Amino acid sequence: MPAVIDTDIHEVATIEDLLPYLPSVWHKYVTDYGWKPEERLPYTQPTAGGLDRADAKPGDGRPGGSDLGLLREQVLDLYDVEAGILTGWLNVSSTQESWVEFKTALVSAYNDWEIANWVERDERLYGSIHVNPWDADGAVREIERLADHPRIVQVTLYIGDQAYGQPRYHPIFAAAARHGLVVGIHHSGNAPTALGFHRYYAEWHTLVPQVFMSQAVSLIFNGVFEAYPELKVILVEGGFSYVPHLMWHADQQWTELRHETPWVKRPPSRIIREQMRFASQPIEEFTPAQLETLIGQMESDELVCFSSDYPHWDFDSPLEALPHRLDPGLRQKILHDNAAALYARLPARASAGMPA
Amino acid sequence: MPAVIDTDIHEVATIEDLLPYLPSVWHKYVTDYGWKPEERLPYTQPTAGGLDRADAKPGDGRPGGSDLGLLREQVLDLYDVEAGILTGWLNVSSTQESWVEFKTALVSAYNDWEIANWVERDERLYGSIHVNPWDADGAVREIERLADHPRIVQVTLYIGDQAYGQPRYHPIFAAAARHGLVVGIHHSGNAPTALGFHRYYAEWHTLVPQVFMSQAVSLIFNGVFEAYPELKVILVEGGFSYVPHLMWHADQQWTELRHETPWVKRPPSRIIREQMRFASQPIEEFTPAQLETLIGQMESDELVCFSSDYPHWDFDSPLEALPHRLDPGLRQKILHDNAAALYARLPARASAGMPA
């Protein structure tokens, strides 16, 4: 098996962990006001570990993803992971437009906590800049503050109920593109489906890919990719089996209706191939022929990047996620090369596909 | 070309057309209170004819789809249409829960207008029973009232923001199944996407398939197909290129989470193959190989039924919708045989696939 680049590893803080990194003026929101990240999901995950793999919890009451030792044991060492992209946990981006200044400060504290406790403690880990998209100016300041860190490779936006192609978010994409940072758009428990949250977790979870299609369409038709031709966006935790449908359907609608959005110069499928990528988890059970056909329908084998989603209950193992007799070249691309090409800031060793 | 069964032809009334069929107690809602069908769409269609093909308007100020002569000229005669399923226009099903008794009376008036002015004036036309799903008892009464009409083949539900797998709607599916009526679930301008209505029509229109995925998942996981094993549902105006993704993803989630909904005994892909069908419009531009691959991914060539969506602006012609060198057997199934098998009430001439 090739060395792996894992594009979705969650490192998890408790709110209290962040206090040392948070200016004292904001402490009372945590210590006195009891603020917690918003969660719109009207159910818990119906699994023994809840959101997490039961074995990913350190056993001291802290959540899965909070222990670097366990992450090493269960992912980094176990699978020969050359690089892991940290995607965080503090999904303030998906919450409502409330206590905006506090949340801007809190994600900034989170970023410092992430760098000190994860990025700088294992050379295989690369960080995301979390921002509060309800405060675009503050988000840009946060990107400027951290963009020069050599092990920061991404700006991560969690999905709530806002479409990120709206002009209010463009400065965030501009800043990311200016610094050569990928924008990772990640799912959250605040993301609805077209008909809300449904009666069962299995319904909602089956329909998770919808918000990714919505974000892709929003970015494309609002001209974000035309405005920032260097921008690269990866959609994380929605899988990729919807991509051929999205390409065909968006191309059809663009062909018929592009007089409405004349700033979109390229067919959406081409924009997707040139500027978007898709993290693999939760990958479905495919035969080699099924997966090769699906990749063929995308007309590019460079779009899918492996992700494990550690420590969540539906973790994908790099050993089991791809069908066993898949074409070795395609396996190499999905497990390693596509992410190495996407994250241009990864060191040459990674980019060259050499073993770690 | 084989004779065609068109599973989506819109016949359009003005509200005033319905007054002769509406009990006088309700007239004042139209004549005095100015009630109009709700429309949540925050844009009009950016085309020269608005919602309609410009040439489908009779020229007297009435909307496209209001003239039987034009329908004959532009569809029924032009393409050798053996049977056309009327899908109506009165999408009260998608409106809010308001003036419920009035709306129940109005759809009933609509059904009588449809039968008198369309179903009984051309032997190629078959009717839908429109119901107000906010009034399930009234909906069941309406189905019982009209189910014995020999040229009624369907109960049509328009999509708003409600998931039709909710138990409040089960009596409607029960009544349809009891009478051998297909349930047609049809799009409307009241159907949101996962992130609302977006800034441009092209965005919203690209994301139309989402509500169909939501309805399929809602019906499947809430056990509607298990409760009514004779039930057949066709999803109308969302195309079908999303179906392989939906099958793979729903099967994966069902495999992992089916302890949450133990009444779902079959994998979703099997439920879909056994009890769901998909009207073809708006079909994307496919090569023969692309379309055959897509049908192969569904593991059944019996799921897609041709539809034109006459008189709407994005009308699909039976001559042009399918790629020209498509396998003739598959063409025959999509243009005719699959719908003939679905609508068991169509006369034997239609079911046998004989020319009209």
> Can you tell me the distance from the alpha carbon of A186 to that of A21, in angstroms, rounded to the nearest whole number?
24
Strand intervals (E) in B283-326: 304-305
pLDDT tens-digit map of B304-344: 999 999 999 999 999 999 999 999 999 999 999 999 999 99
Instruction: Please give the pLDDT value at position A347.
Output: 86
Those residues with Cβ within 8 angstroms of residue B74's Cβ, 6 or more apart along the chain or in another chain: B53, B55, B56, B310, B311
Q: What is the residue-wise DSSP string for B306-351?
A: ----BTBTT---TTTSS-TT--HHHHHIIIIIHHHHH-TTS-HHHH
**Closest C-alpha to A321, from A353, A281, A263:** A281
> How many angstroms separate the CA atoms of B212 and B214, rounded?
5
pLDDT, position B13: 94
What are residue A84's DSSP bridge partners? Answer: A6, A125
Nearest to A26 by CA among A85, A100, A82: A100
Interchain proximity B218–A201, CB inside 8 Å:
no
Question: How far is residue A235 from each of residues B17, B40, B76, B246, measured CA to CA in Å?
Answer: 50, 29, 45, 18
As a whole-number percent, the residues of chain A with pLDDT over 90 amount to: 91
Rounded mean pLDDT, B4-15: 96
Q: Which residues touch B32 (CB under 8 Å, ≥6 apart)?
A: none
Q: Please indicate if any CB of chain A lies within 8 Å of the CB of B160.
A: no
pLDDT in tens, B44-88: 989 988 899 999 999 999 999 999 999 999 999 999 999 999 999
Tell whether B194 is within 8 A of chain A (Cβ): yes
Instruction: Give the pLDDT confidence of A198-218 residue by residue, as tens digits.
Output: 999 999 999 999 999 999 999
Confirm or reject contact between A165 and chain B (CB < 8 A): yes
What per-residue confidence (pLDDT) applies to B1?
A: 76
Q: How far apart are CA B213 and CA B218, in angstroms?
A: 8
Which helix or strand (DSSP H or E) is residue B6 part of? strand B4-9
Average pLDDT, chain A: 95
Could you give the CA distance from residue B334 to residue A168 in angstroms, rounded to a whole number?
45
Which helix (H) or strand (E) segment holds residue A109: the answer is: helix A100-117
- Is the predicted pLDDT of residue B293 greater than 70, yes or no? yes
pLDDT bucket at A39, cuts 50 / 70 / 90:
confident
CB contact under 8 A, B297 and A285: no
For residue B288 the two structure tokens come to 């023969």
d(CA A133, CA A103): 10
Categorize the per-residue pLDDT at B347 as very low, low, confident or very high, splitting at 50, 70 and 90.
confident
For the question of whether the overall pTM of this predicted structure is more than 0.90, the answer is yes
Task: Quote the pLDDT of residue A355.
Answer: 44
Tell the burial category of A82 from Cβ atoms under 10 Å away from its Cβ (0-12, 13-18, 19+). buried
| DSSP one-letter code for B167 | G
**Whether residue B352 has pLDDT greater than 60:** no
For tokens 């349809």, what's the residue?
Answer: B176
Name the nearest CA neighbour of B160 among B119, B122, B192.
B192
Alpha-helical segments (H) within A56-207: 68-71, 100-117, 136-146, 170-178, 201-206
DSSP-derived secondary structure letter, A16: G
Asked if A35 and A109 touch (Cβ cutoff 8 Å), the reply is no
Is the pLDDT at B351 greater than 60? The verdict is no
* Residues within 8 A of B (CB atoms), A 200-229 only: 200-203, 205-207, 209-211, 213-215, 217-218, 221-222
Q: Is the Cβ of A76 closer than 8 Å to some Cβ of chain B?
A: no
Q: In the block, which residue shows the tokens 């940072």?
A: A181
Query: How high is the pLDDT of residue B350?
Result: 47
Task: Output the average pLDDT for chain B.
Answer: 95
Alpha carbon distance A129, A86 (integer Å): 10
> Is A184 within 8 Å of A157 (Cβ atoms)?
yes
CB A189 within 8 A of CB A40: yes
Higher pLDDT, B291 or A96: B291
Q: How far apart are CA B15 and CA B264, in angstroms?
A: 42
Pick the residue from chain B with its C-alpha nearest to A257.
Answer: B202
In the block, tokens 């939906």 appear at: B246
A 291-320 → B contacts, CB under 8 A? 293, 297, 314
Is pLDDT larger for residue B39 or for residue B308? Answer: B308
Q: Report the pLDDT value the prediction gives residue B167, as an integer from 0 to 100.
A: 98
**In whole angstroms, what separates CA A157 from the centre of its chain?**
7
A202/B213 CB distance under 8 A: no
One-letter amino acid for residue A326 of the chain: L
The answer to whether residue B354 scores a pLDDT higher than 60 is: no
Give pLDDT, residue A27: 98
pLDDT greater than 70 at residue A356: no
Q: How many cross-chain Cβ pairs, A to B, lie less than 8 Å apart?
A: 185
B229-247 per-position pLDDT tens digit: 999 999 999 999 999 999 9
Which of B6, B44, B9 is closest to B309 using CA atoms?
B9
Query: Which tokens is B321 given?
Result: 């919708």
Q: If you ran DSSP here, which 8-state letter would residue B193 be given?
A: B
Residue of A nearest to B216 (CA): A203
* Alpha carbons A163 and A215: distance in angstroms, whole number: 6
- Which among A166, A199, A248 has CB closest to B222? A199
Instruction: Give the whole-angstrom CA distance, residue B321 versus residue A42.
Output: 42
Enumerate the β-bridge partners of residue B235.
B185, B278
pLDDT band, very low/low/confident/very high, at A2 (cuts 50, 70, 90):
confident
Residue B355 pLDDT more than 50? no
Residues A316, B56: Cα–Cα separation, whole Å: 52
> Exposed, middle or buried by CB within 10 Å (0-12, 13-18, 19+), for A25?
exposed
ipTM of model: 0.96
Q: Match 């994409």 to its residue by tokens.
A: A173
Maximum pairwise Cα distance, chain A: 59
Rounded average pLDDT over B85-94 = 86
Cα(B290)–Cα(B299) distance, integer angstroms: 15
In this structure, chain B runs to a length of 356
3-state DSSP: chain A helix, strand, coil percent, rounded to 5? Answer: 40, 15, 45
- pLDDT mean over B271-294: 98
pLDDT at B38 over 70: yes
Give the model confidence (pLDDT) of B153-198 as tens digits.
Answer: 999 999 999 999 999 999 999 999 999 999 999 999 999 999 999 9
Contacts of A309 in chain B (CB under 8 A): none
* Residue found under tokens 């002769």: B20
pLDDT at B348: 67
- Looking at residue A1, what is its pLDDT? 75
CB contact under 8 A, A241 and B244: yes
